[in-house]
Amino acid sequence: MKVLKYAETPAIPVAPGVERRFIYTDHLMTVVVDLTEGPKETPDPFHAHPHEQTTYVAAGEVLFLMEGETPCRLKAGDMVAIPADKPHAIQLLTETARLIDNFTPVREDFIR
Amino acid sequence: MKVLKYAETPAIPVAPGVERRFIYTDHLMTVVVDLTEGPKETPDPFHAHPHEQTTYVAAGEVLFLMEGETPCRLKAGDMVAIPADKPHAIQLLTETARLIDNFTPVREDFIR
C-alpha cells in the first residue's frame, strides 16, 4: 500500500518557508504544502502549469489570486479549482498554513 | 474563480454519518468527506472504481484497507494512494474524521 506517514516523512524544502511532501498514482498527485514565515505583505508571483489543480486549505488562511479575477480569501476547509495553464498565486495571511494541492497529470517536475 | 467556501456550502448526505462537499476541474475532483458516528467496530465494505484516488486525512483516524494488503492506521496529516480498480475500504477509528479524497477522472457518479 502506497502510504505517506507525515511524521515519518522528511519534508522537501522548496523555498524559504515552503516545504512539501507528496504521494501519487499514475495520473494524480497530492502534495502537502506547509507554509511558514507569514503573514506576507504581498502575494507570491503568479505562476501557471499545464496541470489541472485543486487546493484544499487544511490550516491557516491565504489570499488566492487568479489572473483577471477578484482575489478570494480562503481559510481551513475551503477549496479552489484551477484550470490548466491559468496563472495563479497565493498570499499567506497567517503565520503558518497548510495547503493540500492536487494535480493531474502528475507534477513530474516535483519528482527528482 | 471556482471556489468552495466550506461554511457556506451545504453538505451532501451520502449515508448515515457520511457527508461530502466537492469541487472539480475537467479531469480532477476533490471531495471533503466528513465522517461522524464513530468509532466503528468493523470496516465498511470494500469498494472499487476505475478512478485513481489519493486520500489526505485532515482530522481523526481511520484504518485503511486495501485488498490483499496489511491494513494501515492513518491519522491527520497522513496520505494514501489507490490505483484504479483496486478494492479498498476504511474503518473509522475516532468519533469523527475528515478525509480529503481526490480522483481522476472526475467522479461523475457524485454529480447529479
Q: ipTM of this predicted complex?
A: 0.97
Give the pLDDT of chain B (112 residues) as one tens digit per residue.
999 999 999 999 999 999 999 999 999 999 999 999 999 999 999 999 999 999 999 999 999 999 999 999 999 999 999 999 999 999 999 999 999 999 999 999 999 7
pLDDT in tens, A13-24: 999 999 999 999
Residue A53 neighbours by CB under 8 Å, 6+ apart: A81, A82, A88, A101, A102, A103, B25, B28
Q: Is the pTM of this model over 0.90?
A: yes
- Decide if B18 touches A, using CB distance below 8 A: no
**B36 DSSP assignment:** -
Average pLDDT, chain A: 97
- Decide if A61 touches B, using CB distance below 8 A: no
CB contact under 8 Å between A52 and B28, yes or no, is: yes
* Shortest CA gap A83–chain B (Å): 6
Query: What confidence score (pLDDT) does residue B15 get?
Result: 96
Distance in angstroms (rounded) separating the CA atoms of residues A22 and A4:
8
B-chain residue closest to A34, CA distance: B77
Q: CB-side exposure of A18: number of CA atoms within 13 Å? A: 11
Query: Among candidates A86, A19, A14, which has minimal Cα distance to A54?
Result: A86
Query: What confidence score (pLDDT) does residue B112 get?
Result: 73
Find which of A102, A103, A111 to mutate to test the B interface (most B CBs within 10 Å of its CB).
Answer: A102
* Shortest CA gap A44–chain B (Å): 18
Q: What is the mean pLDDT of residues A4-30?
A: 98
- Indicate the residue type of A62: V
Sorting pLDDT into bands at 50, 70 and 90, what band is A104?
very high
pLDDT at A112 over 80: no
CB contact under 8 Å between A103 and B66, yes or no, is: no
Distance in angstroms (rounded) separating the CA atoms of residues A93 and A62:
5
pLDDT in tens, A31-84: 999 999 999 999 999 999 999 999 999 999 999 999 999 999 999 999 999 999
Question: What would the DSSP string read from start to end of chain A?
Answer: -EEE-GGGS--EEEETTEEEEEEE-SS-EEEEEEE-S---SSPPPPB--SSEEEEEEEESEEEEEETTS--EEEETT-EEEE-TT--EEEEE-SS-EEEEEEEES--GGG--
CB contact under 8 Å between A83 and B25, yes or no, is: yes
